[in-house]
Amino acid sequence: MKSLKDTLKKEINLDEIRQRVSLLSSTSKTEQEPETYRCNKCKDMGGRIQRVPQSDKPFDYIDKWEDCSCVKERLVERLMKSSKITDEFQQKTFHNFETNGRPELIETAYKTAGGYAKQFFDIRHLRKNSLALLGRPGSGKTHLIMAVCNYLLKKGVGVHYFPWVEGFNEIKDNLDTLDTRIRQLQQAEVLFIDDMYKGRQKPTDFQAEQSFAIINYRYLNNLPILVSSERTVAGICEIDEALGSRINEMCRDYKVVIQGGIEMNYRLQ
């Protein structure tokens, strides 16, 4: 007959065996299913600590945090997502804008938009810090300004896209969020108003009131705007001189009015 001691010893051994089996099973599973990371360089830590020698003490080192390249990549992803720019428009660049065989004014618009993008970080806090491409439909105004937006987004600058007709329809459909939405447009790092005053001979009183509130806030706070419109500055001033004159002053150094006939419309080529 087995003693109580032998029985307990057997139970202990069985427990040890179970633990070993469990450990081996866990180890095997880990080996079969390695942990995955979005960034294999920093293991999703966002960076790493580097030992840097001190210039005045060559044998002394200090620990310094160094951001991984994925930090900027994820910032760009977040900015793209919040910009309201569609996947199709995210493909609009200076490289895929066609200038060959097109009128000289189109080349001028291309160079002006490109020059603005390159100078942005030098002028962004000045009064004349904005861009306007105005005039003929189908001439590439939206493409060029979207190319500016995509360039800035990849540099870590927040851009908000506001298509005039669809944007105001969205706001009117949910007036409970009116104040929040207007404040977002007022305070965006860069605001792109596309096809301003599109859709009717004159804007509604609601559009006129809210657009002035947006532009005036940005004018007073030196916040850049990017504007495309089929109307010239004179045409905008006929609707609202105070708004038009502010846009003109902000865009004075980077403004192109594309005039001419049907030959300017690339979509009809």
Whether the predicted pLDDT of 217 surpasses 70: yes
Whether the predicted pLDDT of 73 surpasses 70 = no
Residues 6+ apart with CB under 8 A from 145: 113, 131, 133, 192, 194, 226, 227, 228
Find the mean pLDDT for residues 125-146: 95
Domain ranges for the chain: 75-268
Per the model's pLDDT, the better-predicted residue between 247 and 73 turns out to be 247
The topology under which CATH files domain 75-268 is Rossmann fold (3.40.50)
Least confident of 20-24, 104-108, 155-159, 228-232: 20-24
135, 230 contact by CB (below 8 A): yes
